[in-house]
A = this chain, B = another copy of it.
């Protein structure tokens, strides 16, 4: 017994090959009754489309465009690398990718780039960007031109994207909160929260999740107001010093990037390894800090998974095919020194 083919379906359903083809590829001009009959035959025979052959026959290409902020920190670079690697693999299914960088934060620039996307030349768009009104409109316009759009890492809930690929920031914050609470133990302690900026939705959501958990489950822990560093190492150092004059510090929660700066500041203060530090995203810096014991846990999303998921989802959207939610669901990874991936 070999696998059933389209011919077998045609015979089984009592229709012609052309009709089976119309049903399989959702082409118009088939009665509902016939569609049902064909689908039943498909189910009866357990037919599975041979994607390799299908793609070969189509000789269709899937040029995808991915927009990433330029200079958005280590994490962005990690994602870019993962995307490049995923693209190499995906080339086997004629999925191509061009990575386009835009000045970080300049959503006007990005919106202009999106406006210039040619639906003929681009089968799908993925973007990592903060949500602004300009960008929201740009995404809407793109989708109106039938270009699938997915949000990467940071959701754009009101832009009407086809999909969001990333983890729930609030849940990630909750996870960080539980770890912080447990690592601190059952004594009264204070926790500082650091962020480059609180303007990004992600940071706000993480902080919210973090607070929720600590308030509910670890009442002995006091979470201090967020210290915004705006990327300035000096501001970080000063802020930390100020906090430390008033009181003892049990832990530090790093909402965004800045592992390197934090490590430097802590070293200067002789605090390295004496404070529980929990951060986000696995980058070269945070990995090194984990390895040397300077930070204790990182909440991360697997960049490889993120990248492959992005291309798969865009491909599915381009073909108007359903998405395997289970496979595309990104997990909230907890990374400590002992389970650092090689």
A residues bordering B, Cβ < 8 Å?
2-3, 48-53, 55-56, 61, 85, 88-89, 91-94, 171-172, 174-175, 177-179, 182-183, 185-186, 213, 296, 299, 302, 304, 308, 324, 326-327, 329, 331-339, 341-342
Contact = CB atoms under 8 A, between A and B. Distances in A.
A242 B174 CA distance: 37
A175 B296 contact: no
Contact of A175 (B92, B179, B338): B338
A94 B50 CA distance: 7
Given A52-B93, A91-B48, A296-B182, A327 B304 contact: yes
A57 B283 CA distance: 42
A48 to B, nearest CB: 4
Contact of A52 (B56, B85, B331): B56
A333 to B, nearest CB: 7
B94 A52 contact: yes
List the 4 closest A-B pairs by CB distance, nearest first. Answer: A52-B52, A185-B185, A332-B339, A334-B334
A338 B329 CA distance: 15
Contact of A186 (B56, B185, B296, B326): B185
A94 B339 contact: no
A341 B324 contact: no
A334 to B, nearest CB: 4
A232 to B, nearest CB: 32
